[in-house]
Amino acid sequence: MSNNSRQPIEKKELFGVHFNIRDQQKFNQALQLLRESTGGLPMFSADNLITWNRNISFLREDYFYQILAGSESTDVEKSCIWRLYILLYFAEHCQSVAGDYVELGCHKGTTAKRVTEKIDFENKGKKYWLYDLFEWKEGDEHTHMPGHDNPKMYEDVVERFSDQPWVNIIPGPVPDSLLQGFPKTIAFAHIDMNHPAPEEAALKKVLPNLSPGGCIIFDDYGWWGYSAQKRILDPIAAGMNLKILELPTGQGLLIKNS
Ligand SMILES: C[S@@+](CC[C@H](N)C(=O)[O-])C[C@H]1O[C@@H](n2cnc3c(N)ncnc32)[C@H](O)[C@@H]1O
């Protein structure tokens, strides 16, 4: 082994947006003290995840580098890059698993579009099913998001995937909308509705159809502010002798035993 192989690889860092901060000034001071106290070790600080002295492998991949360097993604989307890295890792892993892909709560189709950049749906003979309400009205229980302010939200998502006929976009409330179409066999599911009732219903529908070796990523599972979801989802998984793994990104991961 040459001496060179013992040298650390190039330092990579990322500083992005955090959520749920009440006093930004104090937070910035704390971050500065953390940086000084860790003596220049590489740091990742974004999406309520602060860590240091890590390789941060995805920052070394051209695909993720281009997302961060480009102007297509918002600062919030860029800050959630570690979540995207995990989601795409498992989405790619499930390519050899029987069945289709689903996203329950696709919003503007931002993450779904990234999945279509990685998965060769056409050649794999798989379909990608996207579900969303595509609207928010005064009094609705689900979280209002900027995309809901677009009166053509649904039409724009349809347009976004118009050159990808293997993508099925189904508007309406989960679980009722699943009656319009839902795959009998699922390889990979992304559940991201920020709302416990439809997430409960979604998991009950997805789990029996999930192939052995298939995966589910829950975007909100580890977030304390959404802990009502954890309370509801854990017993459903346990009912099938499964356990959801909480990831440091706030996501949850469930792998169905082969
Ligand atoms: C956080 S956003 C999803 C973001 C998206 N997964 C992404 O990564 O680009 C949550 C979405 O869930 C949708 N949603 C909430 N409750 C729903 C329900 N019962 N049925 C369908 N969609 C729902 C909302 O309309 C919203 O667009």
Cα of 129 vs centre of ligand 1, distance in Å, is 13
Q: Whose CA is nearest to atom 26 of ligand 1?
A: 107
Regarding the beta carbon of 133 and ligand 1, being less than 6 Å apart is answered: yes
55 neighbors 9 (Cβ within 8 angstroms): yes
The predicted structure's pLDDT at residue 1: 52
Give me the percent of the chain exceeding a pLDDT of 90.
93
pTM, two decimals, is 0.97
The predicted structure's pLDDT at residue 40: 87
205 neighbors 232 (Cβ within 8 angstroms): no
Domain ranges across the chain: 10-78, 80-255
Write out pLDDT tens, residues 102-122: 999 999 999 999 999 999 999
Regarding the beta carbon of 153 and ligand 1, being less than 6 Å apart is answered: no
Torsion angle of alpha carbons 30, 36, 41, 45, nearest 10°? Answer: 20
Q: Which residues of the chain have pLDDT under 70?
A: 1-3
Regarding the beta carbon of 107 and ligand 1, being less than 6 Å apart is answered: yes
- In angstroms, the CA 26 to CA 13 distance is 22
**Does domain 80-255 match CATH 3.40.50.150?**
yes
Q: Whose CA is nearest to atom 10 of ligand 1?
A: 193
